Structure 1
Amino acid sequence: MASADLTKPSVRFGTDGWRGVIGDDFTFDNVGLVARAVARTFEVRKRPPPAVPIGFDHRFMADRFALEAAGTLSRYAYRPLVLKDPATSPLLSFITRKMKAPFGVMITASHNPAIYCGLKVKGRFGGSIPQSLAAKIEKNLAASEPPGPAERGSPVPAGRIGRLALEPYEDEYAKYLSSHLDFSLFRESRSAVVLDSLYGPGGRIAERALRRNRSKLRVAYLHNARDPLFGGLHPEPVEKYLADLKLAVRRERAVAGIALDGDGDRLGIVDDQGRYLTPQQVFSLLLYYLVKDKGLKGRVVQAVSLGYLSERIARDFGLPVTEVPVGFKYVAAELLKGGVVLGGEESGGYGFTRTARGSREGSILPERDGIFSGLLFLEMTLAGKKTAGALLKELEGRYGPSSFMRVDVPIERPIPDKSAFVSRLRSILPSNWLGKKVAEVKTLDGLKIVLDDGSWVLTRPSGTEPLLRAYAEFPKKADSVRSVAKIAGLAGAVMKETRV
């Protein structure tokens, strides 16, 4: 599949990988170039060559791209093992840690549209690689020259690419889940649940885990098949793609609906009334359950795009809050430090260090895992014998309502100098916002305006896509709508002024 003219792809690692348009910049040649940069970054020189697991999801030709990456790694000091069947990114992370591999590779574009594919790199600890390693991969790629004809045509060393059966690891993963979740509640309940995998492999893996743990829940599975076009949807568990889940929850009279993204690391929730719960609400419900009902303590780690509801819970229970830039790699770095009760980001990724008092910290993957988080959410509803809607009503009755909104504004090209962009935007901010006093302006990642009542609005360029994101969280939806429009307008004026 090699072409005569190789060019290095424009690679920027987002949370833990690179993505591009299939056939445009995401090609077999470019996958090989990125895999070579990854191989050189880790510089493993062991004998015999260490095994490296390579997974793939339901993306178009993802299995073929996985074999391409394996062929490149096999020419270095590695023995790549390509999974025989599609997997989720968290399962690949689990396998990487279980095998004590130096790293793992996952072919996926996560929640992005069907025209995209991508390559993620997972650390030996079973989670997103730190920013320092991502930067080193980018540097190695920029410094390398495209391989010559001899290297591209050289045969893969005999016996250096293996295939890895997935079922044994799925069973180990089911045991891992049972060691951190209270499956006795699942065995005692006949409650209805709907799980929408949005055509990713997460539904099949969750189904096996529930069966292995003898769950009695009545689970209806949606979009639980391979479709590289994702039924015309984006495989992202956000409200605009969950119409079928909303209908199914009401039809089945389910306690909740769970949605996973294309590679199973993000979670979306629909309550028993068919209402979509925002990540702010889901994160806060999980936090409240862990600290109030389970008695856990520790830091609350949240991306700058999460907000006041979780901060109020933390303050009520005397827990410190650590705010990090957007991207789960920053949350993962804090999880690895320990002492964290819950970490999360606005895109539906949540991470834990333990889920019960007395359990060993660090035994949970420092990784966002939609299946793990979704089952913990179900455990919460079963333990409290309340629906998701009832739990949210109780939470907001104590800490106030939350109406969160995010708008993505397409831009022609990435913003070259984000610091200058933020500085100029800050210089034109008003001292009052929707009649409320601006209490604080944060520039940790983009520009976040915090008002005196805790409401906030944020704008930041996406780290992985040509988008400008605008976020807001206010008690009233109308104020959130007005705020995202206003901040996007100000940001647009700055971009036009500076010709970004």
Structure 2
Amino acid sequence: MQAVILAGERGAPLYPLTARTPRAMLPIVAKPLIQYSLELLTRHQINDVLLCLQVLPEVFESRFEDGRALGLNLRYHREQVPLGTAGAVRAVSDRTVGKSILVLNGHVLTDADLSALIAFHDEKEAAVTLLLARVPDASAYGAVVRDAEGRVLAFSEKPPVGEVATDTINAGVYVIRRDILRRIPVGTEFSFERQLFPQLVAEGIPVYGFLAEESYWRSITTLNDYQRAQSDVLEQRVVAKIEGVEVREGVWVGEGATIHPTAEIRGRVFLNHHTEVGRDAKIRGTVVVGSRCQIGEGALIEDSVIWRGCVLEELTEVRGSILGSHCTVRQGARIRPGAVVGADAVIASVVAHLPSQTEFQRAGIRFGTDGWRGILADDVTVENIRLLTQALCDWVKADAVPGEGVVVGYDTRSQSDLLARAAAEVVAANGLRARLSRDPCPSPAVSFACRFFGAAAGIVITASHNPATFSGLKVKAHYGGPASPQMTARIEEKLRELLMSGGGARTEGGTVEVIDLAVPYLAHCARFVDLTQIARAGLVVVDALHGATAGYLPRLLNPAGGHVQELRAERNPAFGGVTPDPTPENLDALFLAVPTAQAALGLAFDCDGDRLGACDATGAFVDAHKLFALLLRHLVRARGATGSVVRTVSTTRMVDKLCAAYSLPLSETPIGFKFLSAKMLEGDILIAGEESGGFGVAGHLPERDAILSALLLLEALALSGCSLTELLAELVAEVGEHEYVRINLRPTPAQMRRIHTALQSFKETHFAGAEIAAIRRRDGTRLDFTDGSWLLIRPSGTEPLVRVYAEAATRSRARELTSAGVSFIVSY
């Protein structure tokens, strides 16, 4: 059988990509779109092919010549005037032989079984057989209704929404008896879809539809279709050969391409031949880079298609965009999501299209060190929570995540209950068991529920310690801790797939179970500590900061004989004008209430209960570093516990000294409890902690938990018979004085680039008048001095922000170190 491919259209909706390139020649993973059809034909032993061309025919002819390189006999027909789909085939019908011919549209990407299609056509003795595909909305295509035998009963090209009676559509591939073509007037514009096929059906001439149930099909009609096709090929949803060598799963590299050893490549990526990827470049998501491109030092490419010959200079960013051939992106320039740049462009600043509000919100969905956060009602909306929950459900099902269903909790912020209900409804609509907290609850309660109920995942609607204008979503894993970076990367990948497909979240069907998450969590906490002993610690003032921990400590301690006085326990979505973070600037009410009530100490929690703050009986603040050291002493000295200890790079060296004294192994991680959680899952970790007041302990959860940490601190006071002030004095006697200072700076983006470079090249032996013992770059650049003090300078990777941390024997020396660090930064 011979084949005719219709490839005459320019493809206006794909402009500017089609300004110099016909639609059928647009590169899909470095091969022209039409080449996938040519290779499909050869797989089915159809080797005699005729291309019907109109726009830029020389582009096809110079690329494929006579077709021998593909094992084809390839011929060309140049239309002088547009003849439509049927008119074009009629014009070449005299150059074909045989009873029937196969017609394909050059803008369709498919791996359909053409041999089965032809066999079905012959079996039915059809005049025409259409390849059919199923789609969610047939109104954008030619809708086809068939009987049980496959005979077409009705054919409607692009019917109005609401008048579509089927989800099967014309897939643009036909087997047609040559005699039928005589019905088409010669030299006249005529359409298969709007004229010939409906006429044949009306006259009762046998037209059949062959449904390609297991086949891939996509019409490349829009820019979104074009970008999605790249992803489909790389994810091997379509049977097609990918050029180059798969150097690791999902990453293909062409001949002569070079990748610097420090470059990061993550996701589904194709780098065509002789492309160069420079030092510290980052390529993430679904990315296609054409031949002979140069990706400069520190450049970032994410979810983008870059045509051949492009140059991205150092520290450039290209996100969610398409660049035509031979574009140049100048140093430091950024191309934001949604941009489509034509060939030979030079970008020296920022390129962005004007997105809709929804597009803008969706583009901001990225997981940081602790979930996704954004401005409530701007970024964090019901729609976005539904989309992200749908992506999580897709991940749970696609990766066969252990466990049953999803637990959903929420904090006390404005609309948190509404957003949590929306998330739970999406879970239920996906056929997964949905458990929704009855009341606001701390994040650790959701983590515990994942383990207690055997859930696959947990969702917490919260922005943790951030101001009232924020909201967000945290993901908890089946093991009862924060989802790993690999897990959140998969959820982001599923979200990208969802958005690129134009799909949405499922919201109908299923049942949401409303349960009290506090009951099993509090019962576990009560078993973990000695509540009877803790009750003897005296009056405790607890500042809930209007957050989700309100009522939890009174429910535990008061029935055991304890006395808890709560501050700011009522729900107030504005948090009384403060930020719900247990740091000194937010705790004046606690510092005043504790000595007034003659309490033993004061405790404070952030909004979702994973950060702990404290003050002694005089109302003096006790920072998280000292709390970490006190908890470690208590676990070892009072409880007789053993195991390894893990801390982040920005956390006190008091812990190091205690570990040395107790002969406990110590390890260090980057900042973020997800890294500590990973260590807790790996081995026998006694305690893990970070400078923000998050601590996790063995036998509980691989998760930071401020409520359990507070109980252990109270247990330390009760069992020792000492006040918090006395315990701190004992700690100083054991490890010496340690004072900690932290400062945040906001340089310009240009300064950030210079600061990064300066820190990477820093090799001095002395700084701030002290000798440097070691320079470590685990997360930022840390200078460890010979006197035991240290300075950490940590530029953010996502915003123009630099954090400066220091610890020394005195507060004045810690301030000197941070001042020297600030001077270093501002000098750039």
- CA gap 1:66/1:413 in 2 versus in 1, 3 angstroms: farther
User: In structure 2, how many angstroms separate the alpha carbons of the residues matched to 1:492 and 1:300?
Assistant: 36
Q: Is the CA contact 1:273–1:389 (under 8 Å) kept in the aligned structure 2?
A: no
Q: Which has the larger displacement, 95-104 or 423-432?
A: 423-432
Structure number with larger C-alpha Rg: 2
Q: Which residue of 1 aligns with 2:583?
A: 238
Q: 1:86 aligns with which of 440, 458, 478?
A: 440
Letter in 2 for 1:481: R
Letter in 2 for 1:392: L
Structure 2 segments unaligned to the other structure (5+ residues): 1-355
Q: Which residue of 1 aligns with 2:776?
A: 442
Q: Which residue of 1 aligns with 2:564?
A: 219
Q: Which has the larger displacement, 90-99 or 169-178?
A: 169-178
User: Does 2:654 match 1:309?
Assistant: yes
Q: 2:363 aligns with which of 9, 17, 21?
A: 9
Q: Which residue of 2 aligns with 1:297?
A: 642
Letter in 2 for 1:194: V
* SS of equivalent to 2:476: strand
1:54-69 correspondence to structure 2 within 5 Å? 54-69=408-423
Letter in 2 for 1:478: S
Deviations along 1:164-194, one digit per CA (max 9) or x if unpaired, are 221xx4232222112211112024x161111
Letter in 2 for 1:70: A
User: In structure 2, how many angstroms separate the alpha carbons of the residues matched to 1:415 and 1:209?
Assistant: 51
Deviations along 1:282-313, one digit per CA (max 9) or x if unpaired, are 10111111122322221110000112111011
User: Aligned-pair distance for 1:236?
Assistant: 0.5
User: In structure 1, how many angstroms separate the alpha carbons of the residues matched to 2:418 and 2:751?
Assistant: 33
User: Does 2:616 match 1:266?
Assistant: no
- CA gap 1:221/1:429 in 2 versus in 1, 3 angstroms: farther
Letter in 1 for 2:619: G
Q: Which residue of 1 aligns with 2:508?
A: 156
- CA gap 1:388/1:306 in 2 versus in 1, 3 angstroms: same
* SS of equivalent to 1:58: coil
User: In structure 1, how many angstroms separate the alpha carbons of the residues matched to 2:795 and 2:357?
Assistant: 35
User: Does 2:734 match 1:398?
Assistant: yes
Q: Which residue of 2 aligns with 1:126?
A: 480
* SS of equivalent to 1:63: helix
Q: Which residue of 1 aligns with 2:766?
A: 432
Q: Is the CA contact 1:15–1:329 (under 8 Å) kept in the aligned structure 2?
A: yes
Q: Which residue of 2 aligns with 1:38?
A: 392
Q: Which residue of 2 aligns with 1:330?
A: 675
Q: Is the CA contact 1:35–1:69 (under 8 Å) kept in the aligned structure 2?
A: yes
Q: 1:368 aligns with which of 694, 699, 704?
A: 704
Q: 2:521 aligns with which of 161, 168, 173?
A: 173
Q: Which has the larger displacement, 366-375 or 243-252?
A: 243-252
User: In structure 1, how many angstroms separate the alpha carbons of the residues matched to 2:750 and 2:708?
Assistant: 34
* SS of equivalent to 1:405: strand
User: Does 2:428 match 1:74?
Assistant: yes
Q: 1:144 aligns with which of 477, 498, 506?
A: 498
Structure 1 segments unaligned to the other structure (5+ residues): 355-363, 495-500
Q: Which has the larger displacement, 34-43 or 194-203?
A: 34-43
User: Aligned-pair distance for 1:333?
Assistant: 0.9
Identity of aligned residues (%): 34
Deviations along 1:247-304, one digit per CA (max 9) or x if unpaired, are 1111122221111000011101111221111111110111111122322221110000
- CA gap 1:490/1:394 in 2 versus in 1, 3 angstroms: same
User: Aligned-pair distance for 1:80?
Assistant: 2.1
Deviations along 1:41-84, one digit per CA (max 9) or x if unpaired, are 222698xx943111111011011111222233333242322222
Deviations along 1:329-363, one digit per CA (max 9) or x if unpaired, are 11111111231111101110001114xxxxxxxxx
User: Does 2:694 match 1:345?
Assistant: no
- Which protein, 1 or 2, shows the higher relative CO under an 8 Å CA cutoff with sep ≥ 6? 1
Q: 1:184 aligns with which of 517, 527, 532?
A: 532
Q: Is the CA contact 2:776–2:783 (under 8 Å) kept in the aligned structure 1?
A: yes
Q: Is the CA contact 1:31–1:68 (under 8 Å) kept in the aligned structure 2?
A: yes
- CA gap 1:331/1:463 in 2 versus in 1, 3 angstroms: farther
Letter in 1 for 2:704: R
Q: Which residue of 2 aligns with 1:497?
A: none
* SS of equivalent to 1:313: helix
Q: Is the CA contact 2:537–2:717 (under 8 Å) kept in the aligned structure 1?
A: no
User: In structure 1, how many angstroms separate the alpha carbons of the residues matched to 2:365 and 2:523?
Assistant: 37
Letter in 1 for 2:725: G
Letter in 2 for 1:131: P
User: In structure 2, how many angstroms separate the alpha carbons of the residues matched to 1:386 and 1:279?
Assistant: 19
User: Aligned-pair distance for 1:151?
Assistant: 4.7
User: Aligned-pair distance for 1:195?
Assistant: 0.6
Q: 1:194 aligns with which of 515, 536, 541?
A: 541
- CA gap 1:132/1:288 in 2 versus in 1, 3 angstroms: same
The number of equivalent residue pairs is 470
* SS of equivalent to 1:202: coil
User: In structure 2, how many angstroms separate the alpha carbons of the residues matched to 1:223 and 1:195?
Assistant: 9
* SS of equivalent to 1:25: coil
- CA gap 1:414/1:293 in 2 versus in 1, 3 angstroms: farther
User: Aligned-pair distance for 1:209?
Assistant: 2.2
- CA gap 1:240/1:36 in 2 versus in 1, 3 angstroms: same
Q: Which residue of 2 aligns with 1:458?
A: 792
User: In structure 1, how many angstroms separate the alpha carbons of the residues matched to 2:725 and 2:797?
Assistant: 33
Q: Which has the larger displacement, 28-37 or 61-70?
A: 28-37
User: In structure 1, how many angstroms separate the alpha carbons of the residues matched to 2:442 and 2:798?
Assistant: 20
Deviations along 1:401-428, one digit per CA (max 9) or x if unpaired, are 11111122245679997xx854521434
Deviations along 1:457-476, one digit per CA (max 9) or x if unpaired, are 11223478763221111111
Q: 2:601 aligns with which of 256, 264, 284?
A: 256
- CA gap 1:291/1:29 in 2 versus in 1, 3 angstroms: same
User: Aligned-pair distance for 1:203?
Assistant: 2.4
CA RMSD of aligned residues (A): 2.4
Q: Is the CA contact 2:601–2:615 (under 8 Å) kept in the aligned structure 1?
A: yes
Q: Is the CA contact 1:93–1:126 (under 8 Å) kept in the aligned structure 2?
A: yes
Q: Which residue of 2 aligns with 1:498?
A: none
- CA gap 1:292/1:415 in 2 versus in 1, 3 angstroms: farther
User: In structure 2, how many angstroms separate the alpha carbons of the residues matched to 1:143 and 1:410?
Assistant: 34
User: In structure 1, how many angstroms separate the alpha carbons of the residues matched to 2:357 and 2:759?
Assistant: 45
Q: Is the CA contact 1:301–1:334 (under 8 Å) kept in the aligned structure 2?
A: yes
Q: Is the CA contact 2:638–2:719 (under 8 Å) kept in the aligned structure 1?
A: no
- CA gap 1:130/1:388 in 2 versus in 1, 3 angstroms: same
User: Aligned-pair distance for 1:225?
Assistant: 1.0
Q: Is the CA contact 1:422–1:443 (under 8 Å) kept in the aligned structure 2?
A: no
* SS of equivalent to 2:528: coil
* SS of equivalent to 2:373: strand
* SS of equivalent to 1:407: strand
Q: Is the CA contact 2:543–2:567 (under 8 Å) kept in the aligned structure 1?
A: yes
Deviations along 1:81-104, one digit per CA (max 9) or x if unpaired, are 222211110011111111101001
* SS of equivalent to 2:551: helix
Q: Which has the larger displacement, 65-74 or 316-325?
A: 65-74
Letter in 1 for 2:407: P
* SS of equivalent to 1:444: coil
Task: State TM-score, norm by structure 1.
Answer: 0.88
- CA gap 1:117/1:5 in 2 versus in 1, 3 angstroms: closer
User: In structure 1, how many angstroms separate the alpha carbons of the residues matched to 2:520 and 2:661?
Assistant: 38
* SS of equivalent to 1:249: helix
User: Aligned-pair distance for 1:140?
Assistant: 2.6
